Amino acid sequence: MKLQTQRFIDRWVGQLLCAVVSAWVRFTGLFGAPALLGTAPKNILVILLSEMGSIVLAGPMFAQLRRQYPGAAIHILQLKKNQEVSKLLQLTQAENMHSLDDSSGGSLIRDILTISLHMRRLGLDAVIDCELFSRVSALLSFSTGAPVRVGFTPHTQEGLYRGSFINHAIPYNPYQHISKQFLSLVDALNSQGSMPRNKAGAIRALPVDTELSVAFVATELAAYRQKVAADHPTTTGRKLVLLYAGGGILPERAWPADHYARVAQGLCHAGYAVGLIGLKDDAQLAKDLQAKIRSEFCIDLTGYTRSIRELLMLFHAAELLITNDGGPGHFATLTPIQTMVFFGPETGKLYGPLGTRNSVLESGIACSPCLSAYNHRLTFCDGDNQCLKRIAPDPVLDQALAFLRNSSVAASS
């Protein structure tokens, strides 16, 4: 199903259903006490339908859930296309990973009904809805039958209506990194009232560690490096720098291709190999970049990795990743690679990769960021993304070369 179709249905049908459910909950709530989480919950569901990169940013939240409720089974509900990362990271047992197929309206409705019935039979103690102002995820939190429903509320903001049946609600805070917001959802599990509040939450610093990892053995990584060298002999004897120039489902997040070409030319001239990564859909972009770069030391790696696990091994084989905002920058935090990530339509202050091995590049012009939870990530930009175009390539090249030279000195000392 197309993204715009999903947004249309979520906006119009979703609001109507949320109003109906809210009226029902308000009526039935007259005859019962507020729902509170027990001292030893057995089953907690996390709804996380967003892009795969959000799973990495939610790592501290999952770690906190496991520490706070060691006896509870953590269930995860995701879109089917995003489930690979959760399985790789082993966020929970395989039998507790559930998915929705959004490839068509029929398959989505079928899976919603199936999952809702399964969760009701299971007997959930609580559900955490990690989506910001999506109505479908709010409705899912109700349909699962969980008595404690945690999620974000727009409170008094107009145009973001998603009902009033999230009974442990917290206001979304647009000034705090999303990883801290996810941790606030865990704090809200034990809140004592239904009014939107963060008052009971812990005072937290931005998590430095994702608390996630993927285990590799040294021989496995060495074999993969040899494979890359064998498949692309021009990289032999040169340190590898990876560039992700694609914009994914949001092309306005892409730094200009000409800027990437200028940086790649400088890196190749300085003695490094450059690998252009991306999905198979990015193959034409890679060919166009190679035509501009005109160096045998620039190789096309789009579609080269067949899984997220292979992508992480490629990161282990490289020194530096220069990337647009998106999944690769977050996956890189699970490896030793240094990253440089461009932000503009969205901001690194809210969605920047966690950890200390990354550098966020932003221009800071007045209209940036323009994508937010309040406009459902629909930009008012006319395609001329000046927030990224004004990040000049030469300073980026200088920063990349400085890191590469410093890392070489550190490795030799």
pLDDT tens by residue, 151-187: 999 888 888 999 999 999 999 999 999 999 999 999 9
Question: Which phi and psi angles does 322 have, rounded to 5°?
Answer: -110, 120
Rounded-to-integer distance, Cα 178 and Cα 183, Å: 9
* Domain 218-408 -> CATH class: alpha beta
Q: What is the CA radius of gyration of the chain?
A: 23
For residue 128, which of 94, 178, 170, 175 has the smallest C-alpha distance? 170
Is domain 3-188 classified as CATH 3.40.50.2000? Answer: yes
DSSP secondary structure code for residue 109 in this structure: H
Distance of CA 145 to CAs 28, 35, 134, 172, Å? 14, 12, 18, 24
Q: How many residues does the chain have?
A: 413
Rounded-to-integer distance, Cα 320 and Cα 341, Å: 11
Q: Do domains 3-188 and 218-408 have the same CATH topology?
A: yes
Q: How many CB atoms lie within 10 A of CB 297?
A: 19
Rounded-to-integer distance, Cα 307 and Cα 247, Å: 19
Distance of CA 179 to CAs 1, 70, 174, 183, 405, Å? 29, 21, 12, 6, 32
Longest pairwise C-alpha distance within the chain = 74
% of the chain at pLDDT higher than 70: 99
Q: What is the pTM of this model?
A: 0.94
Q: Where are the domains of the chain?
A: 3-188, 218-408
For residue 162, which of 361, 20, 314 has the smallest C-alpha distance? 20
Quick one: 317 exposed, middle or buried, by C-beta within 10 A (0-12, 13-18, 19+)? buried
Beta bridge partners of 75: 45
First to last CA, the chain: 54
For 157, the token pair is 């903001």
Per-residue pLDDT tens digits of the chain, which is 413 residues long: 777 788 889 989 999 999 999 999 999 887 777 889 988 999 999 999 988 899 999 999 999 999 999 999 999 999 999 999 999 999 999 999 999 999 998 999 999 999 999 999 999 999 999 999 999 999 999 999 999 999 999 888 888 999 999 999 999 999 999 999 999 999 999 887 666 777 767 888 999 999 999 999 999 999 999 999 999 999 999 999 999 999 888 899 999 999 999 999 999 999 999 999 999 999 999 999 999 999 999 999 999 999 999 999 999 999 999 999 999 999 999 999 999 999 999 999 999 999 999 999 999 999 999 998 888 788 888 889 999 999 999 999 999 999 999 987 777 65
